[in-house]
Amino acid sequence: MKLKTIAKCAALGLALSVSSLQAQDSITTKPRLTIGGYGEAVYTRNFYSDNMFRYSHAERYKDAKGHGRIDLPHVVINLSYDFGKGWSMGSEIEFEHGGNEVAMEIEAEETGEFEHEIERGGEVALEQFWIQKSFGKGFNIRMGHIVVPVGQTNNAHLPTEFFTCYRPEGEFNILPCTWHETGISLWGKLGDWRYEAMVIPALNSNMFNNANWVKNGSASGYEFRVANNLAGALRIDNYSIKNFHWGVSGYIGNTFNNDIVTNEFSETSQYKDVKGTVVIGTAEFDYKGHGLVVRGNFDYGYLDDANLISSWNKNQNHQSFSPYPRSLVGEKAIAYGGEIAYDIMHPMHNTGDQKLYLFGRYDYYDSYIPTANALTDYQWTDRHVMTLGVNYYPIKQVVIKAEYAKRFLKEQYNDEPMFSLGVAYSGFFTK
């Protein structure tokens, strides 16, 4: 009897042990699918003219009534999967401005003509698609289509991570945003530090212009991304102080002749030694604590051979439907800004995830700083922006935004006030 009892107990113990091991293995190695995303809807009333000659003949549009816009800036679906053993996949499919990335625009300067603006070929954009191998917290390799975290907005571009209805205007108008390229990234966390270094295709100087500096240089009107030249990007972040974070990032790459439209330069050509090297440096910080949020950023960029690239771009003899803006481009660009917000519900109790932020933001940027001997200086690219607004979070993943902003230009131009109302979400649908 005792032997049977002992045997039963042993069998039961073995079964429980095996069951426990199987459960533990399922917890640590079971593949996991995650579905999430974010989206924004914005209404804006601009109290200024959008006429194509509003800068070249500003006096004609001083009393313009303005215009209204309704927009879906970004709607993104995120799918990720953990294969186990350190292998994982991530992807983001983006529907931008309703899903069509080929748009008709009116050029504000030059001839004032209608242009097809091709941000990236196709009706939807694949913002991310990568495979990652993790060797530990301090070292990971990510390969595929990835976000380039140069600048504060590219590093934190979800609509719940900034207060304005649209992404902060300064960085958004001089850098690709959200900047995403196909390449290789090495990243990791070491104590209070995080690093990321990547190799990606260089920007394309044929796409540079006066209004947005190198912003459109990551665009491609083709079914592929030209990569005659490669570039490097680096980001370092520190979290050693409670509630406080600071980070720096940079980019360097040769951008000239990085297109399918190239020229075999002769030894006597003025373009034979042109590289179009772009160097970008950024710094940022943010503080979040006690109901207070404070953020700031600084971005500076330099383009070598800016005059020769401007000459090349202006004189391109391509077909009228080509994606090239044929615009002058500045040697330098700058953007800096900051915002402060306070949650007026913070002193209250039992509010759950609800937050009600009152905020103010200031931005300065100039997308066209020419060389000393440049033929043209576009004064309207020098802008200050003041914004006051409110953000209400009924729950952590949803925000309702309202703001009044005014863009201040130099005295020969008309200032540009605007009001915006938006709603946005960001979160995971499965965990």
At 361-408, the pLDDT tens digits run 999 999 999 988 887 889 999 999 999 999 999 999 999 999 999 999
pLDDT the model gives residue 2: 46
Q: Rounded mean pLDDT of 254-279? A: 84
pLDDT the model gives residue 161: 95
Q: Rounded mean pLDDT of 236-240? A: 98
Contacts of 400 (CB under 8 A, 6+ apart): 391, 392, 394, 422, 423
Contacts of 179 (CB under 8 A, 6+ apart): 147, 148, 150, 151, 154, 218
Which of 353, 354, 358 has the alpha carbon at shortest distance from 339? 358
Task: Say how far apart CA 250 and CA 233 lie, in whole Å.
Answer: 6
pLDDT the model gives residue 315: 81
Residue 219 has pLDDT above 90, yes or no: no
Residue 13: pLDDT band (50, 70, 90) is very low
pLDDT the model gives residue 97: 79
Domain positions in the chain are 1-30, 33-428
**What is the number of other CB atoms lying within 10 angstroms of the CB of residue 375?**
11
| Residue 258 near residue 287, CB atoms below 8 Å | no
> What is the per-residue burial (b if ≥16 Cβ within 10 Å, else e) of 292-310?
ebebbbbbbbbbbbbbbbb
Task: Say how far apart CA 354 and CA 130 lie, in whole Å.
Answer: 35
Residue 11 has pLDDT above 70, yes or no: no
Residue 52: pLDDT band (50, 70, 90) is confident
Residue 114 has pLDDT above 90, yes or no: no
- Helix, strand or coil, per DSSP, at residue 218: helix
Residue 270: pLDDT band (50, 70, 90) is confident
Q: Tell me what the pLDDT averaged over the chain comes to.
A: 87
Out of 27-31, 128-132, 153-157, 178-182, least confident range: 27-31
pLDDT the model gives residue 372: 84
pLDDT the model gives residue 386: 98
Contacts of 408 (CB under 8 A, 6+ apart): 383, 384, 385, 386, 415
Task: Say how far apart CA 233 and CA 236 lie, in whole Å.
Answer: 11
Task: Say how far apart CA 417 and CA 58 lie, in whole Å.
Answer: 15
Residue 317 has pLDDT above 70, yes or no: no
Q: What percent of the chain has pLDDT over 90?
A: 68
User: CATH top-level class for 33-428?
Assistant: mainly beta
At 281-310, the pLDDT tens digits run 999 999 999 999 999 999 999 999 999 999
| Residue 174 near residue 335, CB atoms below 8 Å | yes
The distance of Cα 410 from the centroid of its chain, to the nearest Å, equals: 28
